[in-house]
Each structure stands twice: as structure tokens, then as C-alpha cells.
Amino acid sequence: MPAMITVTIDGREIRTEPGKTILEVARANGIHIPTLCFLEGLLPIGACRLCIVEIDGYDQPQPSCMQVVEDGMNIRTDTNNLRQMRRDILKLLLLEHPLDCPICDKAGECQLQDLVYELGYDTKIVEGTAGVPMLHKPPVEWSTIGIKYFPSRCVVCQRCVHVCLEKVGRGVLEVGKNGSTPCIVPAHPERCISCGECLAVCPVGALTENVSPLKARPWEKTKTRTVCPYCGVGCVVELNVASDQVIKVTTDDTVPPNYGTLCVKGRFGFEFINSDKRLQKPLLRQGDSFKEVSWDEALNYVAKKLKDIKDQHGASAIAGLCSARCTNEDNYIFQKFMRAVIGTNNVDHCARLCHASTVAGLATTLGSGAMTNSLEDIEDADVVLVFGSNTTENHPVFGMKLRKLARMKGTKIVVVDPRRIDLVDDAVMHLPLRAGTDIALVNAMLNVIIREGLYNKKFVEEHTEGFEELAKLVEAYPPEKAEEITGVPKEDIIAVARAYAQAERASIVYCMGITQHTKGTDNVKSLSNLALVCGHIGKPGTGVNPLRGQNNVQGACDMGGLPTFYPGYQRVDSEDVRRKFEKLWNAKLPAEPGLTVVEMGHAALEGKVKALYIMGENPLLTDPDLHHLEEALKKLELVVVQDIFFTDTCNFAHVILPSCSFAEKDGTFTNTERRVQRVRRALKPKGEAKDDWKIIAELSERLGYPMFYKNAEEIFEEIRKATPQYAGITYRRLEKVGIQWPCPTEDHPGTPILHVGKIARGKGLLVPIEYRPPKEQPDREYPFILVTGRSYYQYHTGTMSRKCKVLNYGAPEPVLEIHPMDAHVLGIASEDTVRVTSRRGSIELKARLSERVKRGEVFSTFHFNEARVNLLTGSELDPVAKIPEFKVTAVRIEKVEKGE
């Protein structure tokens, strides 16, 4: 602790730590100094000069936001002289400021208004300026699809400039001149990612939201705090509602995980809620079309069909997909329904397609299949290895954080990815390995670390087992060999190995590039080996951190939306566990594990599964080898889809049931860092739409198992009983900030970091893993490797994101990224239509020439139903986790001639 110092502010003696600014000390002691540009969390800008104070010994006033306190300083914050200066400075801003407050979006929330009110607007100011020649500000405006700039209202406080630089790391905006008037100019529009952070910090009405046609005064709006429905970061958002419509999304600077930051989807991706394409009534298939029916008719139909199939073919002929998009409460009820009412463990969801290998891999090596650390504690890391995660596009708010840390703190980021993703710009190194060769790379890193004695011997001894075997295996992976396999220069492998091992704190962040392989589980175990050998686990800024893809994929897994687990990862094949749940649910439960997502398709084709109940999923875009799946769906006797929109999967449904969007729901989501957060109802359900859990409950009643829940909270109370990790969490405790599981008791604060002091498994298991190449290799006929993934602007199957103006503008159509040299050889130019063909199918889409991909590799996203990438992917599965190899598909590319 540095020695305390004493300063006097307005006659008050204050003890404080040195190194703080006068403004900080004043605020901490309840002394108000007016400011306009200052913003907590940013470096001081020093633009407005309203925060000036007087300091003994100096003739000139000093800016309190920039001046650091010194022992013995005597400071005055409020004198006649200062007031006059502040009024005069304000006058400079007001002289040409349009007093268009009645039509300004910001009226009532405007800090300029507040300052004028506070400091006064005396007539002297007006007299004094009578002779000032007014300069006309030419109305040069600019706007993006989501943001509009009014230069005449701008006070050039530069919060927007600095938030873009410091928080988002983009540096789009700069101060420029409009004639001789300072203004904000988009100096680098190509860098803009439309996150709207600039808009959020504008103190006046200069930057305004350009999406919702509906506007409202602050007092006409209600703000409902809930959780963003897109990626797994789980940002806290406030839905601003007027006339039962979401008109804007804001957030809260003070709470995790996002602390006031949002990405383009969080801020501008809300139009789908109000979309007129929302399903509003139950639909029943009639030949090739659907007819609107009553809830009774629809539910009776489903109940009867389910009962018939169960009677005729047994419970295992029925399978269900719960949803990573629905709440914990919805998922809990769904799996309970499948298990207790239908009597099968055939319940799974799309977590199978993203992080099943994580759950399996980390559970084996560490004893818990979730992200070990918090999103926030990456701030403590000195080195971050980002493996197969396009973080800035897929987990944008976390990506921004990585960017910010790289630039503002000097955190060393290493990107391991076949593509030159955007994060590479902020990385100290990029290892562009060949897709699917991760194990060889990690083994070589381990080889270096062990050979050079850089591993954490004490940690290995006390907290791991299997070191000898691992050390022996990696002997066979010198960096030279890894260079041959991965294509990464051996010097780089050695450098990264040293940097990771020698760092005080180093974290591994990974995503689909690791998991979506037939060796996905082994990939995950490899990363776990790396962390354990170096002892980078159980401390802030360390760990093995899978980034979960969807808003509630963690929760859906926690709730037992998996064929092998009850809620809380309790095994269905354990006698004791089954008895416990039989008692809790008062039902006889099946003992054998159920089918996984892809297996359900196979079983349907074989006629073993007759009915499929799908809640909030769209497998017709997400699952691999779609032709095969279509055939399977066609054979089913009953397909029920419960969703908010008519998805591609609905085309194969017999019954479609309209459900509520997140904005109409109460419940909880669990984000990637195991944080359970409250989802709150901000709007009335659309049309006759109902809560997902309610639909299931009503169906359950028709099948003779009434479920008596008045609301989501009652379900959560049951979840607490069923799920040990959630036992201590209550809705009351989640009121402001979410809690990270495990949280065993109501007085437990939650667990930001797993494996502290001791690995959950007891000892971390080191697993020697040989490298084997991916199942599909490029050959003469299919010479390219196709890698699939997501883009920043769209989300998943586009069901929601494609209903939003800003998002569609950002990524309007499917494209195939191809290296310019490859394109040249094939005679392909940018914007040409190309045909991509694999052993399983063929799609056509536009080519985009890009050096982000290596030669021999191409990339596309799976958001678009006009070019369903998953027609191409194969259904080869990881033997343990049953995850398909989305990341490596051998394809052939041809140019589609016009008129063809």
C-alpha cells in the first residue's frame, strides 16, 4: 500500500491514495465537479474543460480530470471565478447549438441540458455575445445503417472517439473540421463494426440510434433488464419498451459480464421481436400446407400421436430436441417431460454440434466440463492462447475485451487458427495451422516445454497424474515434425510454447476450431494437458476456457438436455441418481442413455424413431449432411416444431406451435462462464404465443402427468433441488448480478474460478494423445478443405438475425471466402457465383477473394438457407462426444457460368 496523502478540497481535509486525479478524489468524497466529456472507464479526455479547479500556487485553473493529487494540495472546486469560466465555456458550446430540444432524441436525458440547468444561463452571457458573428455550421451529416450523426448538436466531447479507440479497439472516429468548426468524422469507416458504443456514450443528441422508427420520451419508456438472446457471452441488456414494442437496447455499465459494452447484435438485433413474421397461432399440417388451429386442437393432436407411437413402438421411438436458445426453465421442463412423461432419454440439442467434445473432454481430465475461469478474469492474463476461436466475430464483446487488453494492457495474444482472423491484428503471433492438426501442434509445444524444463514441476507433482506417459508420447513430436504436419514454422511453435509456459498467468481460450472435429474430444484433452503441465489453472487469468456459442447452451446442458445426463451432469445410467430423480419427479425413469442429435437422424432413417419433438431448434441448417437428415425427417410419423418463426425445419413438421421470444419470457439463461442470469418479460406474448415450458406443461397434462407451475420461478425452485450446482441460487439473488455456479448454498457467493487449490477431479488427468489426420483429406477430386463458421453480423441459422435491418446490411448473403491465388487459378473473380461440391452435396454462392484464408482452404458460414453449407459437411462423428467434423470437409470449387 502506498503511503496515504492529504489534500484539501473546498476546505475539507481528505486522506487519499496518491496517483488519483482530483476528480476521482472529489467524486469519491461526494464533491460534485461538473463534467461533460469525462467517462468512467476511459482515459481522461480533457476536452470540455468544465471540470477546472483552482489550486493554491497556480494562477491558472487546472483540469481536475487530468491533474493528479499531490500531498498538501489545496483545491477549490467552486468559486465565483470558476463558475464564470464554466458558464463562459458552456456559452461557447451553446452559441451555435440548435435549441431543437423538442425534437431531439436526447431531450430529458441530455447532459448539456443538465449543465445549462446547473450552471445557469444568465442574461450577461447573451449580452456579451451580442456582437459575435454567428458562423453557420454546414449540415454535413453522416450515418451508418444504425447510427446517425447530427454535427450541429455535437459538443466534440470525444467520448465516442475514445470509446471506439479504447473499448472497441477500432479507432473509426477522429476529430475533424467542418469548415472551421470541430466535429467528429468517420476517418476509417472500413473499421466500423456498427457496435454502437459511440452512440451509447454520446452525452447529447449528436449520435442517435437509426433503427427503430418509433421514438419515445424518457418518461414514456420502460426499461426491462434481461439478457441478450444471441451468443454465449450473455450480455446484460435493458429493453427500452414503448407501446409494447422494443424501441432501443441499452445496458448497464456496472454489471458483468459486459459492463456496458454491446455488439451489433446486442444493440441493433432486436427487430425480430416485433416482426410480423412471428408465429402467432398453432398450425397443423394439411397436405402440403398448414392451417391455423386452436391450441386445444393442436395439443390434442400431438398428445394423441405421441401416445399412439409410444403404445405401438415404445418410448424410445420418440425423441426430442430441447434448445440452447430457450431458458433453463424451458429446458428443464422439456427434459423432464421426455424422461418422466414419455419415458425416454432421447433428448439432446445442438450443444452436441458445438461443445459436446468440451463436456466430454474436460469432464474426463478436470472433472468439470465447463469454462474454468470468468470472462472478466482474462484481464489478469499475461498471455492468451486463442485456439480455433474467431472471438471478435463470434463472441464480439469478449473479442473486444481481448482487443482492448492487447492494446491497452499489453496482454500477449497468440492466435492459433487456419484463417487470418481479425484478432490476428492484435496478436503477437499467429500460427496458421492446417485445419485439424491441432494435436500435433500442442504435442510439439509440450515437447518444447518438457524438454526445456519449463513446465511447473511442483504443480505436476501435486495436482496431476499421467505425466510420465505424456512426456514419453510428446518426445515423438519435436517442433520440426509438427512443422511438417501443421505447416507452422518451428521457431513460432517454440516461441509460443515458451511464452505460454513462462508467463506468470496464461489462459487458453478455444472454440469450434477445436471441438468440431472427429478428434474433438482429444483436441480438448490436449489443451487440458497444456494447461495442467504448466500449472495454468485454478488462478485468475489462467484456465481452459471454451467459449459457448449460444445464449443458453451452457444452461441447456446444465438442465440435462443431454441423453446421458440428468440436470447437473448426473449420469442417467447411475442407479442412485435415477432413484433420486424418480422420487423427485414421481415417475418411473428409463435406465439406458438416449440418442444424440445425429444418431436421432440415423435412427429415424432406420425406422427406429417415429416422432421428433423440436423445441426452438433448426436442425435443417445446423446439422451435418442435410440431405441425409431430410430423408430421415420425411420418414417420421410426427414432427412437432415449437418456435417463434417458420424455420426451414417447419417445412417437415406436422404441427407447429408458436412460442414466446426471450423478450416475452421470464426465466434464466446461463452464459459461457457459468453465470446464471435473469431473463425478464418486457412485452406481452405475440398473438397466441405461449412460453415454451407452458406448452410442454399443457401437453404433459394431456398425457396424464399434470405439471403445476404458476411461473418460471416455481420451476427454478425445482431446478435448485435437482441440480446441486444451482442449489444456492434464487431469483431474489439474481436481481442485479448473475451468479456463477457451482453455488451450493444460499450464502455461497458463486464460483468465478473452478479448480482453485485442487482440481475438481482430484488430480488433473494428463492424457497422451497421438495425432491422427482428419477423416476427410483433400484429394484430386475434392482438392480444397472447407471450414465452416459464423460471421459477426449474423447469428446461427439466421432465424432472428436475418429479420434485423442492421445485421442484414452487414452480412446480406452467403459468401465463400477463397484465397485470391486459388481464385485466380480457377478463373474466379470476386462476386462470381461458384459451385461448391462435396461427396454429399453441392451448393452455389458468391465468391469473396480474401487473404484471410490460406491457399487450399475455403470458408463459409452456415447462416443462410439459400446456400446450406451443411449439405456438404459429413456426419463422421467423434467417437466419444458424437460431434461431427464441421471444420474439415473436402470440396471442389467450380465457377458457375452465367446462364448455366
Partner 1 sequence: MILFSSWQGEIVDNRGVKRAKKPKAIALPEEFKPGEKIKAFFGWDGIVICDDSVDLIDMALNYAEAMLKESCGKCTPCGQGSRFMRGFLEKLAKGEATKDDLNALRSLANLIKSTSKCSIGQTAPVPILHVLEYFSEEIEKRIASKKPAQPGNYRYAVTAPCKNACPSNLDIPRYVEEIKEVRFEESLATIREMTCLPGTLGRVCVRPCESNCRRALVEGPVSIKWLKRFAADFELEHRKKPQILKVPTSSGKRVAIVGAGPAGLSCAFYLALKGHSVTIFEKSKEPGGMATYGIPDYRLPRGVLTRHEVDIIKDLGVEIRYGVEVGKDVMIMDLHRDYDAVFIGVGAQTSAKMGIEGEDKGYRGFIPGVRYLYDINNGIDPYPEGKRVVVVGGGNVAMDCVRCSFRIGKTDVHLVYRRSRAEMPADPEEIHDAEEEGVVFHFLCNPTRIIEQDGKVVGVELIKMELGEPDQSGRRRPVPVPGSEFILETDILIPAIGQAVDLSFLAGCSDIKLTKWKTIAVNPDTFETSVKGIFAAGDCVTGPDVLVRAAGGGRRAAERIDQYLRGIEPGPTEEELFDRLFSTIKVFNKNEKVEVPDGMKRKELQKLDPETRKWTFEEVEKGYTPPEAIYEAQRCLRCYRIGMIAY
Catalog residues that contact partner 1 under the rule CB under 8 A. 18, 43-44, 46-50, 52, 55, 57-63, 66-70, 73, 85, 88-89, 92-93, 95, 128-133, 135, 155-156, 158, 162, 165-166, 171, 175-177, 180-183, 407-410, 425-430
Q: Least distance (Å) from partner 1 to the CB of residue 374? A: 22
Residue 99 or 103 with smaller CB distance to partner 1: 99
Q: Least distance (Å) from partner 1 to the CB of residue 253? A: 20
* Whole-number Å distance between alpha carbons of 662 and 590: 32
Residue 87 or 720 with smaller CB distance to partner 1: 87
Residue 43 or 591 with smaller CB distance to partner 1: 43
Q: Least distance (Å) from partner 1 to the CB of residue 49? A: 5
Amino acid making up residue 680: R
Residue 49 or 895 with smaller CB distance to partner 1: 49
Q: Least distance (Å) from partner 1 to the CB of residue 635? A: 54
- Residue 83 burial (CB count, 10 A): 13
Q: Which of 105, 665, 62 is nearest to 330 (CA)?
A: 665
Residue 174 or 297 with smaller CB distance to partner 1: 174
Query: Under a CB-based contact definition with an 8 Å cutoff, are residues 559 and 332 in contact?
Result: yes
Residue 181 or 711 with smaller CB distance to partner 1: 181
Residue 177 or 710 with smaller CB distance to partner 1: 177
- Residue 239 burial (CB count, 10 A): 24
Residue 4 or 135 with smaller CB distance to partner 1: 135
Residue 58 or 117 with smaller CB distance to partner 1: 58
Residue 55 or 682 with smaller CB distance to partner 1: 55
Q: Least distance (Å) from partner 1 to the CB of residue 559? A: 42
Residue 28 or 214 with smaller CB distance to partner 1: 28
Side-chain half-sphere of 342: how many Cα atoms within 13 Å?
A: 34
Q: Least distance (Å) from partner 1 to the CB of residue 413? A: 9
Residue 36 or 279 with smaller CB distance to partner 1: 36
What is the DSSP-derived secondary structure letter of residue 42? S
Residue 44 or 764 with smaller CB distance to partner 1: 44
Q: What are phi and psi of 43, to 5 degrees?
A: -65, 150
Residue 73 or 785 with smaller CB distance to partner 1: 73
Residue 90 or 199 with smaller CB distance to partner 1: 90
Cα distance between the two ends of the chain: 75
Q: Least distance (Å) from partner 1 to the CB of residue 166? A: 6
Helical segments of 475-547, H only: 479-486, 490-502, 512-515, 520-534
Q: Least distance (Å) from partner 1 to the CB of residue 781? A: 37
Amino acid making up residue 795: Y
Q: In sequence order, what are the beta bridge partners of 184?
A: 175
Q: In sequence order, what are the beta bridge partners of 249?
A: 239
**Quick check: bond before 742 cis, omega within 30?**
yes
Q: Least distance (Å) from partner 1 to the CB of residue 405? A: 9
- Residue 379 burial (CB count, 10 A): 14
Q: Which of 618, 658, 655 is nearest to 636 (CA)?
A: 655
Residue 8 or 730 with smaller CB distance to partner 1: 8
What is the DSSP-derived secondary structure letter of residue 799? T
Q: Least distance (Å) from partner 1 to the CB of residue 18? A: 8
Residue 494 or 743 with smaller CB distance to partner 1: 494
Q: Least distance (Å) from partner 1 to the CB of residue 443? A: 25
Side-chain half-sphere of 746: how many Cα atoms within 13 Å?
A: 7
Q: Which of 353, 302, 280 is nearest to 643 (CA)?
A: 280
Residue given cell 443431454 in the structure block: 562
Side-chain half-sphere of 111: how many Cα atoms within 13 Å?
A: 17
Q: Least distance (Å) from partner 1 to the CB of residue 189? A: 16
Q: Least distance (Å) from partner 1 to the CB of residue 542? A: 20
Residue 378 or 524 with smaller CB distance to partner 1: 378
69, three cell numbers: 493529487
What is the DSSP-derived secondary structure letter of residue 611? E
Q: Least distance (Å) from partner 1 to the CB of residue 389? A: 19
Q: Least distance (Å) from partner 1 to the CB of residue 135? A: 6
Q: What are phi and psi of 852, to 5 degrees?
A: -65, -35
45, three cell numbers: 479526455
Q: In this structure, is the dihedral angle defined by the CA atoms of residues 304, 623, 719 and 398, taken in order, positive or negative?
A: negative
Long-range contacts of 460-466 (CB under 8 A, 24+ apart): 460/532, 460/533, 460/535, 463/532, 463/535, 463/758, 463/759, 463/763, 463/764, 464/532, 464/533, 464/759, 464/763, 464/764, 464/765, 464/766, 465/763, 465/764, 465/765, 465/766, 466/765, 466/766, 466/767, 466/768
Give SS3 for 340.
Answer: helix
- Residue 229: which residues within 8 A CB-CB, separation 6 or more? 325, 551, 661, 662, 663, 800
Q: Least distance (Å) from partner 1 to the CB of residue 484? A: 23
Query: Under a CB-based contact definition with an 8 Å cutoff, are residues 197 and 163 in contact?
Result: yes
Q: Least distance (Å) from partner 1 to the CB of residue 885? A: 31
Q: Least distance (Å) from partner 1 to the CB of residue 451? A: 22
513, three cell numbers: 476450431
Would you say how long the chain is, in residues?
A: 900
* Whole-number Å distance between alpha carbons of 64 and 9: 11
* Whole-number Å distance between alpha carbons of 669 and 291: 33
Q: What is the CA radius of gyration of the chain?
A: 29
CB burial of 827-865 (b: ≥16 within 10 Å; e: otherwise) equals ebeeebbbbbbbebbebbbebbbbebbbebbbbbbbbbb
